[in-house]
Structure 1
Amino acid sequence: MNFKFCFLLVLFAFLNFSAQGNRFTYEYQFRIDSTKTDSLKKEFVNLDILTTKSYFYGQASFASDSIMNNSIIQQRKSTPNHISYSSSSEDWNISYLIEKSYPGFKTTWFTNIEQTNMIVEETPVLKWNILPETQKIENYNCQKATVNFGGRIWEAWFSKDLPFPDGPYKFHGLPGLIVKLEDKTKSHQFLLKGNKKLKPEDHSWDYILALQKEAKHEFEGVKVSPAQYKKQYLSYKNDPAKDIKLDLADPHTTMTVTTESGAKLTSNPEIIKYFEESMAKKYKTNNNQLELNLHRK
């Protein structure tokens, strides 16, 4: 039996097995700043596998977006011309959403660069090298595979006990769900920690996107290729405060910024200087993204 035929059988089993949907929760450890080798952060992420697609997202972002979108809907009903909300996106790092469509695994990455919402579409081809090594991980019988993706070398352990050719982030294409995944530098590590069958009350990102459309009337995002995303990212990296400058260029726009220390900035030069310095620092320390080839020259 060749690999392609075996993969199709696994996919067929997966589509039947997951008619109601399954949620797999991973512990994700990552290092944002490559110069701080002892500063791994931890976050829990979900992979919701449905009949025709899967969603990968951060648990904290999901909960916050659900509350925020519901709040916007209620405010729109009570005060149609005024919407106000606050967000604490600094509390987590996985604020994006990745949707994979079956069976071709077209990937749609909902993300943003500063004030620009972006929808990055691609169909990544992962050329896995499946190895004979096996071991038991989190009570699953797993087999090893490696792949070069995103400017990194990755080691994955997948399990045929879970008949899903999917995995965290954009990873997919193995004859079983990825249970453990890490890059060679151990800067990014995923480990499966739980799974359950989805029930109607266990909302998935279908629910979040529907709320978002209702709250904002439609999802506003610029559709781009990975190459276009990279060009935009490097542009912001070179001039991280350019959105603020554009906003303040409008003579009718006024802005008040409260800094971390509690100081209030109201003059345009002060505000621009503050954002140039703080955002330049953010781009400097956020230098170890999962896909290096999308964030470096």
Structure 2
Amino acid sequence: MIKNIIKYLFVFVGIICLSYSKSKIKKHKIYQVLYEMKYQKDSLDEKSLTIEIMELFTNSELSLFRSYEYSAIDSNKFGFSVNRINLQQKILSTYYVTKDLKSNVVGFFDKIRLGNKDSYVYYENIANKEDSWIVTSETDSLKGFSCQKAYIDLGGRRWIAWFCNDIPISDGPYKFGNLPGLIIDIHDTTDTWRFSFLELKEVDGMPKNHKSETAKEITKEDYYSLKRNYRDNMVAIEEASNNSFFYFSSTAERSRVVNAKKISVKKDNNWIELYP
């Protein structure tokens, strides 16, 4: 279902490209950009390919990046039909990324435990500021846009970006930004992670980052330590918290779940940032 929906979205991309490449982006206006995020959860298994629709809200000073499905409750406020994306698809990305484009600070907000409302946040300087990019003179046409090629190293990966100078929005998906134009496509050199432009539209307001209200600030190192610990010991952690979803009728049933989780952990080896 979602593949057909994405196919129809692309039918309109050419029209959208032409309209925005010929018109000026208004300063301080807020724009919503939809991206298709495509990645392999298991770097050794092409069948683990996963697709998720992500959205970027941005103006000349601030931006917010998150899963479109995860935030669908807010979509009608901005004039988008939640029926356009198959919301029955499993939501995989619960994180929010905020950027302060003036001070070059990025905030990464996420929860770690299933069904738990506790959120964490770490802040770091935007590593991909202009002097971190290798901007080339190579150009190409992508989805009707005239684009220019650039490289950057982020999260243990080399990324290849194509940005459009005709759309003067110095932003892009995830933590990427600070190029002379909007990032239309960016992928890593293993081609197991890719963000591709789908749609651009002016909207009335910037969504509220609800996670910022209760998020506990920790270091990036602590975030990854907590995330790995939970991934590797999920059953024991949830049992200790009396989570009813982790009630087992027998020792044999528990062993089956634990063993299945161990297999799942081995295949969850291709996080967007290869953080040690």
Short-chain TM bin: 0.7 to 0.9
Displacement of 1:18: 4.0
The answer (yes or no) to whether the contact 2:29–2:202 under 8 Å persists in 1 is: yes
Of the two, which has the highest radius of gyration? Answer: 1
Counterpart of 2:44 in 1: which secondary structure?
coil
Residues 271 and 102 of structure 1, relative CA distance in 2, 3 Å threshold = farther
* Map 1:258-269 → 2, pairs under 5 A: 265=248
Counterpart for residue 97 of structure 1: 96
Tell me whether 1:226 sits opposite 2:225 in the alignment.
Answer: no
Counterpart for residue 265 of structure 2: 283
Q: Aligned partners of 1:58, 1:205: CA distance in 2, in Å?
A: 13
**TM-score, normalising length from structure 2?**
0.75
Displacement of 1:147: 0.8
**What is the CA deviation profile of residues 88-145 of structure 1, one whole-angstrom value per residue up to 9, with x for unaligned ones?**
9971222211111121231111112224521121113221101110011121111100
The answer (yes or no) to whether the contact 2:147–2:163 under 8 Å persists in 1 is: yes
The answer (yes or no) to whether the contact 2:28–2:61 under 8 Å persists in 1 is: no
Provide the alpha-carbon RMSD of the alignment: 2.8
Counterpart of 1:205, as a letter, is P
The answer (yes or no) to whether the contact 1:54–1:100 under 8 Å persists in 2 is: yes
Counterpart of 1:35 in 2: which secondary structure?
coil
Displacement of 1:226: 1.1
Listed as ranges, the gaps of 5+ residues in structure 1 are 1-15, 68-87, 213-217, 249-254, 259-263
Of stretches 154-163 and 228-237 in structure 1, the one that deviates more from structure 2 is 228-237
Displacement of 1:56: 0.7
Counterpart of 2:42, as a letter, is D
Residues 91 and 283 of structure 1, relative CA distance in 2, 3 Å threshold = same
Q: Aligned partners of 2:197, 2:48: CA distance in 1, in Å?
A: 21
Percent identical residues: 24
* Map 1:4-83 → 2, pairs under 5 A: 17-63=26-72
**TM-score, normalising length from structure 1?**
0.70
Displacement of 1:270: 6.9
Residues 193 and 241 of structure 1, relative CA distance in 2, 3 Å threshold = same
Counterpart of 1:60 in 2: which secondary structure?
coil
**2:134 aligned to which of 105, 129, 133:** 129
The answer (yes or no) to whether the contact 1:33–1:287 under 8 Å persists in 2 is: yes
Counterpart of 1:103 in 2: which secondary structure?
coil
